[in-house]
């Protein structure tokens, strides 16, 4: 519930302007609630219409993406790019290819990206894009033709100093390669810093693939240490999803001494009491692009259950790394009743607002996505730096920088929560810490 009248007025306007866009409204409401802590001390924001400008994208692009499938049939998808805020740097944010992609989903992700990118301390504005195209079950040729068609429109909106896309759900190394190839062909220019998540042979950064999942664990490790004097050592962990973020969160949590006992995909989940065999998951998901149900053929003692029951599995640390609104109040109640101590968001907005409130009431440590999963975009920022410098850092060098950034983000969010009078509330802390830098830049740049 937003109480401040200025913030309320802004939120009412957002609702009126974006009817039915439930994900976007959910993200805006959560952020505006956090601003209660600062808004009265900053009357200049209202005078400058700052929050009204902050919640309205600078530009929103929607376009047709026609392509021809393997049967010769013409398919039409919808493409999007939101360029939300460029106050502190060029727009930066991933591309998502999934049938659930809509204007609302892209706007919620782009809006959150502004604060996340600011938290990294690197000069990156907020953007996001994607399409309702579903790469699942498509041939390589179909994915390539789709990516080429998508980029044939997107190329005119991107550039290393304008807007720098990357991957997200459904967009991994294969898709980034096809997108980059088409962009290079249209522009007749090898502009490395225009896309991140590139392959190592054409300007990618070591450790970018691992960065989001590793970063989630570095953030969680610092949170456990500073807020509970604890660590991953000996903890049982459940991770939803089995894509890029989930896989490398599983790897790092295991390296830090935890046992991951369950992972999922959109059809069901696997439970392995002996600890997930990550090589099996990587083979199923990265090599074969198959379903997680195949895991039991690699590990006969493991169990597969269809459906969404993963949050009923007992754990100390729950890490949703799949998609938005994955954990509702019922799931939250199960996680709490099973005695978990922490909820760490690897995916974007994986917890509904009511479920977040449940976790906070129950006193669990809560690591919000904007802060906890910022390691991916931070390392994309490091990829851009290497492209500008025309050199490549070692894996260890990038990983060490990533770790420093994640530790720094935890402390910024924590310190901001103290300044806002709600010590340990990292939701408020991350929103406020990310926002103050953007707000300062927007104030300095006048009414634009
Ligand atoms: P991937 O496409 O690699 O993996 C997504 C995983 O989530 C898959 O296991 C997928 O299962 C599952 N999933 C997707 N949609 C649903 C759904 N509706 N219900 C249940 N499971 C679902 O994506 P990423 O790992 O890259 O992204 C995961 C999350 O992390 C997203 O929220 C993304 O925005 C966020 N994120 C990603 C970053 C990155 O660097 N990649 C950076 C920061 C945040 P299936 O295969 O069955 O579809």
Q: Which two tokens stand for residue 120?
A: 């990294």
Integer CA distances (angstroms), 186 to 27, 293, 332, in order: 36, 41, 48
Question: What are φ and ψ of residue 338, in 5° steps?
Answer: -80, 0
C-alpha–C-alpha distance, residues 208 and 213, integer Å: 10
Share of the chain above pLDDT 90, in %: 100
3-state secondary structure 91-142: EEEEEEECCCCCHHHHHHHHHHHHHHHHHCCCCCEEEEEEECCCCCCCCHHH
Integer CA distances (angstroms), 361 to 31, 105, 225, 339, 357, in order: 19, 28, 21, 14, 6
Q: Which two tokens stand for residue 426?
A: 């990292």
Q: Which of 117, 281, 322, 344 to mutate to test the pocket of ligand 1 (most atoms within 8 A of CB)?
A: 322
Whether ligand 1 lies within 6 angstroms of the CB of 379 is answered as no
CA of 241 to the centre of ligand 1 (A): 6
Whether ligand 1 lies within 6 angstroms of the CB of 245 is answered as yes
Whether ligand 1 lies within 6 angstroms of the CB of 323 is answered as yes
pLDDT of residue 374: 98
CA of 320 to the centre of ligand 1 (A): 10
Instruction: Give the number of residues written for the chain.
Output: 448
C-alpha–C-alpha distance, residues 417 and 423, integer Å: 5
Q: What is the mean pLDDT of residues 178-204?
A: 97
Question: What are φ and ψ of residue 308, in 5° steps?
Answer: -105, 30
For the question of residue 128 being annotated catalytic, the response is yes
pLDDT of residue 203: 97
pLDDT of residue 78: 98
Whether ligand 1 lies within 6 angstroms of the CB of 212 is answered as yes
CA of 322 to the centre of ligand 1 (A): 4
Whether ligand 1 lies within 6 angstroms of the CB of 348 is answered as yes
pLDDT band, residue 48 (cuts 50/70/90): very high
Q: Which two tokens stand for residue 406?
A: 């994640």
Question: What are φ and ψ of residue 209, in 5° steps?
Answer: -60, -40
Using one digit for the tens of pLDDT, what is the confidence trace for 214-259? Answer: 999 999 999 999 999 999 999 999 999 999 999 999 999 999 999 9
Q: Which two tokens stand for residue 425?
A: 């509330």
pLDDT band, residue 30 (cuts 50/70/90): very high
Strands 74-85 and 91-97: unpaired
Of 31, 48, 39, whose CA–CA distance to 4 is shortest?
Answer: 39
Residue whose CA is at the smallest distance from ligand 1 atom 22: 266
pLDDT band, residue 100 (cuts 50/70/90): very high
Burial class (CB in 10 A: 0-12, 13-18, 19+), 161: exposed
Using one digit for the tens of pLDDT, what is the confidence trace for 66-96? Answer: 999 999 999 999 999 999 999 999 999 999 9
Helix (H, G, I), strand (E, B) or coil at 264: strand
Residue whose CA is at the smallest distance from ligand 1 atom 41: 168
Helices (H) then strands (E): counts for the chain: 17, 12
Q: What is the mean pLDDT of residues 403-429?
A: 98
Give the other-Cβ count within 10 Å of 200's Cβ: 12
* pTM for the whole structure: 0.98
pLDDT band, residue 190 (cuts 50/70/90): very high
Q: What is the mean pLDDT of residues 391-414?
A: 98
């Amino acid at each position: 519930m937003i109480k401040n009248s200025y913030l309320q007025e802004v939120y009412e306007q957002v609702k009126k302007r974006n009817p039915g866009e439930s994900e976007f409204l959910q993200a805006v409401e959560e952020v505006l609630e956090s601003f209660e802590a600062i808004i009265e001390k900053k009357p200049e924001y209202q005078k400058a219409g700052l929050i009204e400008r902050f919640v309205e994208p600078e530009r929103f692009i929607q376009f047709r993406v026609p392509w021809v499938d393997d049967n010769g049939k013409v398919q039409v998808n919808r493409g999007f790019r939101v360029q939300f805020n460029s106050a502190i740097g060029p727009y930066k944010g991933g591309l998502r290819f999934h049938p659930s992609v809509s204007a609302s989903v892209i706007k919620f992700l782009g809006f959150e990206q502004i604060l996340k990118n600011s938290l990294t301390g690197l000069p990156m504005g907020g953007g996001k894009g994607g399409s309702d195209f579903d790469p699942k079950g498509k041939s390589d040729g179909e994915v390539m033709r789709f990516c080429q068609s998508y980029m044939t429109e997107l190329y005119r909106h991107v550039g290393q100093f304008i807007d720098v896309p990357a991957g997200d759900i459904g967009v991994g190394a294969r898709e980034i390669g096809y997108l980059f190839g088409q962009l290079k062909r249209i522009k007749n220019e090898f502009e490395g810093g225009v896309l991140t998540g590139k392959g190592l042979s054409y300007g990618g950064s070591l450790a970018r693939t691992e960065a989001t999942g590793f970063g989630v664990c570095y953030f969680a490790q610092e949170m456990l240490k500073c807020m509970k004097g604890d660590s991953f050592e000996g903890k049982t962990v459940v991770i939803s999803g089995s894509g890029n973020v989930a896989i490398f969160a599983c790897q790092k949590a295991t390296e830090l001494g935890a046992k991951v006992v369950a992972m999922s995909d959109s059809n069901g989940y696997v439970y392995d009491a002996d600890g997930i065999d990550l090589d099996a998951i990587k083979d199923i998901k990265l090599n074969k692009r198959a379903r997680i149900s195949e895991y039991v053929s690699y590990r006969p003692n493991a169990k597969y259950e269809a459906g969404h029951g993963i949050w009923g599995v007992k754990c100390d640390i729950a890490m949703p790394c799949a998609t938005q609104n994955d954990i509702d109040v019922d799931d939250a109640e199960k996680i709490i009743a099973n005695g978990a101590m922490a909820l760490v968001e690897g995916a974007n907005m994986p917890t509904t607002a009511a479920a977040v409130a449940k976790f906070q009431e129950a006193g669990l440590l809560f690591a919000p996505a904007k802060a906890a999963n910022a390691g991916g975009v931070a390392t994309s920022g490091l990829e851009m730096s290497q492209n500008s410098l025309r050199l490549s850092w070692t894996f260890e060098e990038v990983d060490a920088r990533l770790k420093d950034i994640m530790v720094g983000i935890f402390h910024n969010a924590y310190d901001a929560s103290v300044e806002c009078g709600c010590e340990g509330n990292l939701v408020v802390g991350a929103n406020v810490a990310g926002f103050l830098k953007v707000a300062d830049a927007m104030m300095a740049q006048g009414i634009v």
